[in-house]
Structures are given as C-alpha cells and as structure tokens.
A = this chain, B = another copy of it.
Amino acid sequence: MTSENQSRHFQSDLPCVLVLKRPPSFVLFGDHFLESPKFQYLKAYESPLPLSQLLHTHARSVQAILSSGGAPVTAETICLLPRLGLVVTTSQGLDHIDLSECRRRGIAVAGAGTIFSSDCADSAVGLLIDVLRKISAANRYVKQGLWSSQVFYPLGYKLGGKRVGIVGLGSIGTEVAKRLDAFGCSISYHSRSKKPLEPYKFYPNVVELAANCDALIICCALTGETHHLISKEVLSALGKDGVIVNIARGPIIDEKELVRCLVKGEIRGAGLDVFEHEPDVPVELFALDNVVMTPHCAVHTMESFEELRKL
C-alpha cells in the first residue's frame, strides 16, 4: 500500500495502529495475520516517507503502536504521537521500548506475556542437552559418514546431577527450573530479589552463583542493570567445566569475553539463541563443536504464533 493509499484509507473512523517494522508473524503468515475489523494499520515500513514525516502526517490518528523486537519505540517517536495510548509488542521482552517515556505519558505497554515462556524454556533445555551431550556435533559426524570410518565418537557429559544456575527467575526461568528439576539437576538462581515461594537456593550475587554451578541459563530481561551482567568475572567464576545458555537477550553477556573464553577453552561450551549484534554472529564460534547456535528463534513455534494471534 502506498502512502497515498494509506492517507485515503485513514479517512475512515477506525483507530489507527502504527507498525514500525514488519513483525516476524507478518513475514511468516502475511499481513492479514493480526488484522481485525476493529482497527486499521499504518505500516511505516511500506511508506516511502521518512519516519518523522510519516508520523507528522498521521500524528493525530495513531492511537497505538504494534511493535516487535527489531524496531525500537523511542522517546522521539512517542513524542510525535500525542494521541498514543498503547504500545503492544509481539515479543516477550520489552527492552526495545522506552518504558520511562511511556510511564511519563501514561501510555500502556502490553507484551506477549507468558505465551512464549514454555517454548523459550524448551529451547533452553534443548540447547543445554545439545551442548552437554554433543547432539548437533554427533549429527554432523554421522551425516558426514564418519561413523563407520572412525573408532569412537567423543563422549558427552551427563545432565543429571549438574548444578544449574538460572539468571532471572521470571516466567521463563521458572519453567526452565521445573524442567531441569525432572532431569535430576540441582537448581539455584540469581534475581533482583529472593523469591520466597520458590524452593531453589538464591544467590544475591551472580559471580557467586556462577562459582557454585556447572551451567548458567540466562533468562532475565535486558535492562540497564543486566547489560553485560555476564562479565569476564562471571565467566571466570563459572570456569572451564561450565556451560552457558542464553535464550534471553544478547547484550546480557559480554560477547567479546564469551568468545575469548570459548576459543581458549576457559569454559566448556555454550548454547546461544541470542547475540549482541544480531544477525551478526562472531565467526570465531562457527568452527567450535562445543557451541550450538540458533537464530533467535527460541520463542518461535507454529503453535506460539497461533496463540499470539488469538491474544
């Protein structure tokens, strides 16, 4: 739809929802995925106009923003929209939204909530098993026809009995804990505050958590405080027998340090669904069998998108 078409379209009385960037669900299922007779879309990514000019044109129509992880909702954008009352995001995280500006203006913010929590938790456990038991590497070994020519495939490590530390015991972290409990892992966690209802051991300090764990699973939100929370010091406390899994947000880990530790064998392995500069991935990790990487798809299943649509 061209900008001219959109302008004509917006003469109707329906509330207008600004879409900054085509969200994954549109890419996968078409733009009709979240359509409704109750509102109309203003698709910024289809307009030839610069964003500020587009927003000026439609300043008084836009009442809501539909956002996804890839497109930040900045204070600047918010300022241009005096009637904005709601920001909805299709992502689990809210880190791309200027929450303090929303709070100041009294704009409601709605995320996908816990729809994605179980898929995220499944991914975290899948990545942990894959790294410890070397499933992806073994799959490659078999598919390259090496089994019949080589004596024995290198051993993996047992999951049962491992001390797993969960960083961020929110809806995802709790689901991860519940699953790993069934594998006989011993669970502890670090969070902003102790959760009195949870049976797991709480560490107020993430370095201390790492020092007492065989694996760390990063499940917290990305905020000013959690940026590079997993620092050189934390990785070094985790140590050379430790494994790290990140299904939260890339910048929570100091990626440069993580790459250095993996390349030098200072930690045992990593399962990574998220990276600091997506879709760019450190090329140093491409050749490492002890690193399993997925393209920020921990939340993406056929079924979760269907639930999102319903929401």
Within 8 A of B (CB), among A118-171: 118-119, 122-123, 125-127, 129-130, 133, 135-136, 138-143, 145, 147-148, 151-153, 155-161
CB-based contact A118/B158 at 8 Å: yes
* Minimum C-beta distance from A159 to chain B (A): 5
- What mask results when residues 30 to 69 of chain A are scored 1 for a CB within 8 Å of chain B, else 0? 0000000000000000000000000000000000000000
Contact partners of A145 in chain B: CB under 8 A = 281, 283, 286
Cβ-defined partner of A138 (8 Å) among B158, B181, B283, B295 = B295
Contact partners of A148 in chain B: CB under 8 A = 279-280
With both beta carbons as reference points, the residue of chain B lying nearest to A141 in the complex is identified as B295
Interface size on A, residues (CB 8 A): 58
A297 in the interface (beta carbon within 8 A): yes
With both beta carbons as reference points, the residue of chain B lying nearest to A287 in the complex is identified as B143
| Distance between Cα atoms of A179 and B305 in the complex (Å) | 25
Contact partners of A24 in chain B: CB under 8 A = 152
A311 in the interface (beta carbon within 8 A): no
CB-based contact B147/A300 at 8 Å: no
Residue from A139, A151, A300 having most chain B Cβ neighbours under 10 A: A139
CB-based contact B157/A302 at 8 Å: yes
A184 in the interface (beta carbon within 8 A): yes
A212 in the interface (beta carbon within 8 A): no
| Distance between Cα atoms of A295 and B152 in the complex (Å) | 9
A301 in the interface (beta carbon within 8 A): yes
CB-based contact A142/B281 at 8 Å: yes
Contact partners of A27 in chain B: CB under 8 A = 151-152
Cβ-defined partner of A126 (8 Å) among B133, B142, B304 = B133
* Minimum C-beta distance from A286 to chain B (A): 5
CB-based contact B302/A155 at 8 Å: yes
CB-based contact B139/A294 at 8 Å: yes
| Distance between Cα atoms of A135 and B151 in the complex (Å) | 26
Contact partners of A133 in chain B: CB under 8 A = 122-123, 126, 294, 297, 301
| Distance between Cα atoms of A282 and B179 in the complex (Å) | 34
Within 8 A of B (CB), among A176-222: 178-179, 181-184
Contact partners of A142 in chain B: CB under 8 A = 281, 293-295
A76 in the interface (beta carbon within 8 A): no
| Distance between Cα atoms of A133 and B299 in the complex (Å) | 10
Contact partners of A143 in chain B: CB under 8 A = 285-286, 293
Contact partners of A293 in chain B: CB under 8 A = 138-139, 142-143
| Distance between Cα atoms of A143 and B146 in the complex (Å) | 20
With A118-B184, A130-B126, A152-B27: A139-B141 Cβ-Cβ less than 8 Å: no
Contact partners of A295 in chain B: CB under 8 A = 138, 141-142, 147, 153
5 inter-chain pairs at a CB distance below 8 angstroms, sorted by A residue, are: A119-B159, A135-B294, A138-B295, A143-B286, A153-B294
